[in-house]
Amino acid sequence: MRQATVEARRGGRPRLLPGEGFGLRPGIWAWARAVATERPTRPVGLALRGGPELASRTFTHDGRALHVRAGGPPNPSRMAVVLVHGVIVSSRYLMPLGVELARDRPVLIPDLPGYGLSEAPGRPPTLESLAAAVIECARASGHTRVALVGQSFGAQVVVEAAVREAPLVERLALVGPTIDPAARNLPAQYVRWQRNTPDEHLSVVPIMARDLADVGPVRAAQLLRVMLADAIEDRLPAVACPALVVRGGRDRVVPATWAERVARAMPRGELAVVPGYAHMAHYSGPLAVAPVLRRFLDARDAA
């Protein structure tokens, strides 16, 4: 396992020092309010000032509508990046990172079945069904080379997808991967999530509230059970492609020891630490996370 970090101390320094702020583009609050109140007939397509457009597309998966936000240059030979959200959030909180990556590569951000603007399936969710939706999103978009980037529970989904569809998946990135076996229960996870709050940009709160309302309490409970039941560590050795684990230096959901274990378990895994950020480093600091992912993705494109 190779580790790339600019912070020697395992816990990372406090995020805010005099004169510092979050790694976000201007206009985050106005954008967050807009995306948190979007309607299915009028989805928000722009993510922050000056960013490329993320157009809404709808595909059919398992007989239901699957909503996807897509952007980036129309280059079929370039490896597409599919961003996969966490357990009670949707594509909305991945848009700031998606826009940064879409400046020079195709990007897809699906709402998994039952999330965001996608229709709910007629049966309870499984890890296998969520992974199948990710693969269907890539194939329906016409891409034959993809990198999967999963955040939090999304990391569990993309690992499943990468193992099931190895010929399609050329690169894998796990941003704040869950779940640490030492805390595989809901009370422990809740406490860890709450401890991250001081280090997250608060504009994510209205987005998460909207996402939870879209999912609904019954499906949210089902999804949490799927998340807690999955032992991701059992499948990591089967990930054949190059893989990157990205951890915020102050992530209390993903301890440093767990992130290191995840990276070591994958045959071609490596670890990058983004100091000063917590579990949602991709949202609170997309300008810090995007270069880390871009270097990893470009290494394959150049091969």
Q: Is the pTM of this model over 0.85?
A: yes
Cβ neighbours, 10 Å, residue 273: 26
Q: Assign residue 81 the CATH number of its domain.
A: 3.40.50.1820
Per-residue confidence (pLDDT) for residue 249, from 0 to 100: 93
Confidence of residue 144 (pLDDT cuts 50, 70, 90): confident
How many independent structural domains does the chain possess?
1
Q: pLDDT (tens digit, 9 = 90+) per residue, 167-211?
A: 999 999 999 999 999 999 999 999 999 999 889 999 999 999 999
**By C-alpha distance, which of 223, 51, 48 is closest to 120?**
223
173-205 burial, b at 16+ Cβ within 10 Å, e below that, comes to bbbbbbbbeebeeeeebeebbeebeebbbebbe
Q: Are 250 and 15 in contact (CB under 8 A)?
A: yes
Beta bridge partners of 274: 248
Q: Which two tokens stand for residue 22?
A: 């979050």
Per-residue confidence (pLDDT) for residue 75, from 0 to 100: 75
Share of the chain above pLDDT 70, in %: 90
Query: Whole domain around residue 54: which residue ranges?
Result: 2-301
Sequence-distant (6+) residues with CB within 8 A of 90 are 111, 112, 115, 116, 117, 211, 214
Chain-centre distance for alpha carbon 65: 21
Q: pLDDT (tens digit, 9 = 90+) per residue, 117-139?
A: 999 998 999 999 999 999 999 99
What angle, 0 to 180 degrees and rounded to 10, lies between the N-to-C axes of helices 153-164 and 217-229? 60
- Residue 302 pLDDT > 80, yes or no? no
Per-residue confidence (pLDDT) for residue 53, from 0 to 100: 81
